[in-house]
Amino acid sequence: MNSGTSDGELAAPGSSGRLSSTSSADKKKEKARVSRTSMILWHAHQNDAGAVRKLLEEDRALVNARDYDSRTPLHVASLHGWIDVAKCLLEYGADVNAQDRWKNTPLADAEGAKKHNMIELLKSNGGLSYGQSGSHFEPKPVLPPLPNKCDWEVDPSELDFSSSNIIGKGSFGEILKASWRGTPVAVKRILPSLSDDRLVIQDFRHEVNLLVKLRHPNIVQFLGAVTDKKPLMLITEYLKGGDLHQYLKEKGSLSASTAVSFALDIARGMAYLHNEPNVIIHRDLKPRNVLLVNSSADHLKVGDFGLSKLIKVQNCHDVYKMTGETGSYRYMAPEVFKHRKYDKKVDVFSFAMILYEMLEGEPPFSNYEPYEAAKYVAAGHRPSFRSKSYLPELRDLTDNCWAADMNQRPSFLDILKRLEKM
């Protein structure tokens, strides 16, 4: 993870050098810790009990590692019902009643996902549904919800725009930083003039329905939406680090280690989206849609699912005829530009373009207008490698990911394995 210091920096001679090397050692330790935390959460998510055990043998403290949302590996295993992973974590002393940022315990997650075997396992190990003080199933009867209301429907009066500022714009409207129940949030607000447009409403509802289902450390967290009053609004967590586009504009090219670390976070989020049998194709993966949790850029999340498509996959080789020219030209796969049939590998192509930009410090074919760049790429051209940070393994990976034949491009699970080796 990027710690704000390039790997090539040397300490100044003398005592200040010793201080500098000490802080550099601390930063390396912190970077390693963040990386191991990501790894155990990822392996828990992938139901890889062997890899989880190996990490715990090396460092027992990882059993209660937490991601940005305060979720532990046991939360992840419980949500998916991965019994072997949960047993391994409990054997190493996992806190069975750890609470995430929404105050959910692993048992609350297992109950919500109806993972009955997991519920039994957690209860037999002292698991509670909600916190240390008892179950979150109230003994007193709960009033039925309002008709046709979802638990994520937000009343606009709860949103405070008094000190808001615009953090993004699009043809649909704008994205504002606002406050919701005292918490900073990002609000995608549909322009009033478009609030009666049938297609805009359809797309907006599609994005809400998609986001409600997503829960992953490398995916921007959906918090709620305003769907029955105007203007229509979609509320997600606010990430104060800004987006990768702005970060690269300020920093220029990244060191190989930072680029790999960033690429791992993006690939983890994308591997989750591409998970069978409900594949979500992002279709607009670009630096502006990759967000930094904070200014030290130690955690990235994939966001903006306005153009995403949820596909029920019959088998993993299904290909879909979808509208061409969806997404941003500069990062667009050739098959999309040519209005050909395409599948989830369009996201792998866009990922290659982002990897290139992180290592080179400038967008692919930056001397071309976006449309012309896409046309040039569709004709078979690819950007040339110039950066010294382009290690042979990274170069091979980029080449594979932007292959003209989408069947030759690796899946995000394969990409992760290759990046982890680096």
Q: Which residues are catalytic, by number?
A: 284
- Between helices 116-124 and 83-91, what is the axis angle to 10°? 10
* Rg (the chain; Cα; Å): 22
- 356-362-368 Cα angle (round to 5): 100
Write b or e for each residue in 163-190: b if 16 or more Cβ atoms lie within 10 A of its Cβ, otherwise e: ebeebbeeebbebbbbbbeeeebbbbbb
Question: Which of 178, 166, 293, 286 minimizes the C-alpha distance to 241?
Answer: 293
Residue 16 CB contacts under 8 Å (≥ 6 apart), including other chains: none
Residue 102 CB contacts under 8 Å (≥ 6 apart), including other chains: 69
Tell me if 256 sits within 8 A of 391, measured CB to CB: yes
Q: Region of 365 please: left (phi>0), alpha (psi -120 to 50) or beta.
A: left
Question: Which of 180, 166, 171, 182 minimizes the C-alpha distance to 226?
Answer: 180
- 272-396-289 Cα angle (round to 5): 40
What phi and psi values does residue 153 have, to the nearest 5 degrees?
-70, 125
The DSSP line for 352-406 is HHHHHHHHHSS-TTTTS-HHHHHHHHHTT--PPP--TT--HHHHHHHHHHT-SSG
Tell me if 201 sits within 8 A of 159, measured CB to CB: no
Q: Is the peptide bond before 277 cis (omega within 30 degrees of 0)?
A: yes
Going by the DSSP 8-state scheme, the letter that residue 113 receives in this structure is T
188 is in an annotated binding site: yes
Which two tokens mark 148? 């046709």
Which two tokens mark 100? 């995430």
C-alpha pair distances (Å), 10 with each of 13, 19, 26, 71: 9, 12, 15, 36
Residues tagged in the binding site annotation for ATP? 188
Residues tagged in the binding site annotation? 188
